[in-house]
C-alpha cells in the first residue's frame, strides 16, 4: 500500500500503553532461554508488563531459581517455569507470544553466521514444539544468526502445516534502539525523540539504517554519515569486543526484546489506534528481492497487518541495499536448506 512519504508511519512517536477496558491481564507469554544472559533481564522487564497474566520461563537449567526470584516481584503476572527439552511443548502450551533469546553468543572474531551450527537446533526444537503447543502464537526470535534462524523456523512450521508469515518475526529492534541512541548523541536531542527505520537484516552489511529518513533530520557531512552508518552496522561487534570473550549484548538486547514484545501486545490489543503499531522487524515479505527482510510493518491482533513500503532511500542507502540483498539471500537460502533437511 502506498502511504504518504511525508510523515512515514514509522515516524510517529510511541505513546504509553493505553489501558484497555476490562481486565488488562489476559496474555500468556513464554520466554525460551529465560535463564540466560538475555533471558533473565528480558523476563524481568516482562514481569512488569500490564497485559501479561502468565509469564512462562523455559530453559535447560537453573530456571527454577530464576522463577522463584522473579515471582517475589510485586507485579501480578504469574510466573511458571519448565526445565529441559522434554518440557518445552508443555511450557509453550496455549501461549499467545513466544519470545526466544536462547542460544550461544559470539566471541571476539566470530560473525553471527558462525553461530549457525550451535543455534540452529534451538530453532528446530522451538518450531516443533510451537506446532503442537501453540500454533497460533506470535513467535519472536532473538537467537542468532537471525537472518538464517527465521527461515529455518518457517520451513519447520511449513512442514507441520502451521506456518503463518504474519506471525513469525526476527527481532531487529536493537538496531533501531542503537540508531536512536547514536543519532540522538550526534544530533543533540534525547534518543527517545529520534525515529529512524532500520531495514535489511541483522548482521553487518545487511543492517541498513535509513539515515536519510531520520527525524529530526541528521545533516552530518558524508564522512559523519559513513562513520555513523558503520558504527550502527558494527555495534553488536563493539559489545562483543568490549565483553572480551564473555558474550555479546544482553541488557540492551533484553530491553529491545521487551520493547518488541510490548509492540506485539499493543498490536494484539489494538492500542495503536486507527494507524496501528509500527515496528521494524525481520519477516517474510515481498517488499524487497529477498524472501525475508527487516522493514517497517503495522502490527495487529494477528501479527503483521500490513507491510509498509521500503522508505525512500538516498544514493548511499540505495547502494547499501544493492550490496546487502545478495548477502541476505545467501543467509536465507542457508536457512531454507537447513530447515528442509531438518524436517
Strand pairing class (292-300; 277-284): antiparallel
Tell me: is residue 143 an annotated ligand-binding position. yes
Q: Which is nearer to ligand LMR, 35 or 207 (CB)?
A: 207
Q: How far is the CB of 46 from ligand LMR (least distance, A)?
A: 19
Q: How far is the CB of 27 from ligand LMR (least distance, A)?
A: 26
Q: Which of 8, 51, 81, 202 is catalytic?
A: 202
Q: Which is nearer to ligand LMR, 9 or 151 (CB)?
A: 151
Q: Which is nearer to ligand LMR, 49 or 112 (CB)?
A: 112
* Chain residue whose CB lies nearest ligand LMR: 236
Instruction: For residues 125 and 38, give the distance between their C-alpha atoms in angstroms, rounded to a whole number.
Output: 19
240-256 as b/e: b if 16+ CB within 10 A: beebeeebbbbebbbbb
Tell me: is residue 112 an annotated ligand-binding position. yes
Q: Which is nearer to ligand LMR, 114 or 306 (CB)?
A: 114
Q: How far is the CB of 207 from ligand LMR (least distance, A)?
A: 8
**Is 202 an annotated catalytic residue?**
yes
Instruction: For residues 1 and 140, give the distance between their C-alpha atoms in angstroms, rounded to a whole number.
Output: 25
The number of beta carbons lying within 10 Å of the beta carbon of residue 22 is: 6
Tell me: is residue 200 an annotated ligand-binding position. no
Tell me: is residue 59 an annotated ligand-binding position. yes
Tell me: is residue 36 an annotated ligand-binding position. yes
Q: How far is the CB of 91 from ligand LMR (least distance, A)?
A: 24
Q: How far is the CB of 119 from ligand LMR (least distance, A)?
A: 11
Tell me: is residue 300 an annotated ligand-binding position. no
Q: Write out the residues near ligand LMR by the rule CB under 6 A.
A: 106, 112, 144, 174, 202, 236, 239-240, 248-249, 253
Q: Which is nearer to ligand LMR, 131 or 248 (CB)?
A: 248
Residues labelled catalytic = 202
Annotated binding site for substrate: 106, 112, 144, 178
Amino acid at each position: 500500500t502506498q502511504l504518504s512519504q511525508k510523515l512515514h508511519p514509522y515516524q510517529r512517536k510511541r505513546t504509553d500503553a493505553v489501558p484497555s477496558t476490562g481486565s488488562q491481564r489476559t496474555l500468556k507469554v513464554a520466554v525460551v532461554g529465560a535463564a540466560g544472559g538475555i533471558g533473565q533481564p528480558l523476563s524481568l522487564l516482562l514481569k512488569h508488563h500490564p497485559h501479561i497474566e502468565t509469564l512462562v520461563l523455559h530453559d535447560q537449567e537453573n530456571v527454577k531459581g530464576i522463577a522463584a526470584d522473579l515471582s517475589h516481584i510485586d507485579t501480578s503476572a504469574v510466573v511458571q517455569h519448565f526445565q529441559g527439552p522434554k518440557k518445552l511443548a508443555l511450557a509453550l502450551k496455549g501461549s499467545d507470544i513466544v519470545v526466544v533469546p536462547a542460544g550461544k553468543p559470539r566471541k571476539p572474531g566470530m560473525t553471527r553466521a558462525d553461530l549457525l551450527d550451535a543455534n540452529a537446533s534451538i530453532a528446530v526444537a522451538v518450531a516443533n514444539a510451537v506446532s503442537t503447543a501453540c500454533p497460533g502464537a506470535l513467535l519472536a526470535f532473538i537467537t542468532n544468526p537471525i537472518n538464517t534462524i527465521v527461515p529455518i523456523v518457517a520451513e519447520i512450521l511449513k512442514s507441520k502445516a502451521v506456518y503463518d508469515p504474519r506471525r513469525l518475526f526476527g527481532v531487529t529492534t536493537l538496531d533501531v534502539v542503537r540508531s536512536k541512541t547514536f543519532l540522538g548523541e550526534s544530533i543533540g536531542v534525547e534518543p527517545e525523540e529520534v525515529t529512524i527505520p532500520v531495514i535489511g537484516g541483522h548482521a553487518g552489511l545487511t543492517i541498513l539504517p535509513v539515515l536519510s529518513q531520520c527525524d529530526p533530520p541528521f545533516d552530518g557531512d558524508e564522512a559523519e554519515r559513513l562513520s555513523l552508518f558503520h558504527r550502527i552496522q558494527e555495534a553488536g561487534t563493539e559489545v562483543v569486543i568490549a565483553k572480551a570473550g564473555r558474550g555479546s549484548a544482553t541488557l540492551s538486547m533484553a530491553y529491545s526484546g521487551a520493547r518488541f514484545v510490548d509492540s506485539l501486545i499493543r498490536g494484539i490489543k489494538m492500542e495503536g489506534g486507527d494507524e496501528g503499531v509500527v515496528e521494524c522487524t525481520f519477516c517474510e515479505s515481498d517488499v524487497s528481492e529477498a524472501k525475508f527482510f527487516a522493514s517497517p510493518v503495522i502490527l495487529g491482533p494477528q501479527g503483521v497487518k500490513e507491510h509498509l513500503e521500503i522508505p525512500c532511500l538516498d544514493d548511499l542507502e540505495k547502494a547499501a541495499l544493492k550490496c546487502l540483498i545478495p548477502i541476505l539471500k545467501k543467509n536465507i537460502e542457508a536457512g531454507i536448506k537447513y530447515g528442509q533437511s531438518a524436517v
